[in-house]
């Protein structure tokens, strides 16, 4: 992902998101954006057993990333909760499918 002329490694931001107790899975992709070039955007699957509202978790995740990441690594494209991440037969996240679905119909209504 190239944001504000800087490289953003998705795995770095994903690891930060996964450190939150509510997050089961996370994928970060770059969404084309006129201001940022590519806006880092997170797609997050919450653990089924987690009881907080998605808005509370979203605020906590945003704060966590702001605290741990440089400005160009912030989730300028937002955080979107999904029921599952699209994967290949080998279990690799299909980032192109996530990009194509943005803001897409996979978003979980909360």
Residue 82 and residue 75 in contact, taking contact as beta carbons nearer than 8 Å = no
Mean of the pLDDT values across residues 34-62?
A: 91
CATH class held by domain 2-101: alpha beta
Residue whose C-alpha is closest to residue 63's, from 9, 29, 2, 17: 17
22-34 pLDDT per residue, tens: 999 999 999 998 8
C-alpha–C-alpha distance, residues 110 and 21, integer Å: 19
**Averaged pLDDT of the chain:** 89
pLDDT in tens, 63-76: 999 999 999 999 99
The confidence band for 101, taking pLDDT boundaries of 50, 70 and 90, is confident
Q: What is the pLDDT of residue 105?
A: 34
Stretch (H or E) spanning 3: strand 2-3
Q: Which residues contact 67 (CB under 8 A, 6 or more apart)?
A: none
Model pLDDT, residue 86: 97
- Tell me what pLDDT residue 52 has: 79
Alpha helices in 6-103 (DSSP H): 10-18, 54-68, 95-101
∠ CA 97-8-96, rounded to 5°: 10
**Which pLDDT belongs to residue 102?**
80
Reported as a pLDDT band with limits 50, 70 and 90, residue 54 is confident
């Amino acid at each position: 992902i190239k944001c504000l002329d800087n490289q953003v490694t998705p795995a770095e931001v994903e690891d930060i998101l996964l450190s939150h107790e509510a997050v089961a899975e996370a994928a970060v992709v770059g969404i084309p954006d006129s201001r940022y070039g590519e806006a880092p955007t997170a797609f997050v699957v919450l653990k089924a057993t987690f009881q907080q509202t998605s808005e509370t978790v979203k605020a906590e995740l945003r704060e966590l990333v702001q605290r741990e990441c440089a400005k160009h690594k912030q989730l300028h494209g937002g955080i979107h909760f999904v029921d599952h991440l699209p994967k290949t037969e080998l279990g690799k996240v299909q980032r192109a499918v996530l990009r194509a679905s943005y803001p897409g119909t996979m978003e979980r209504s909360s």
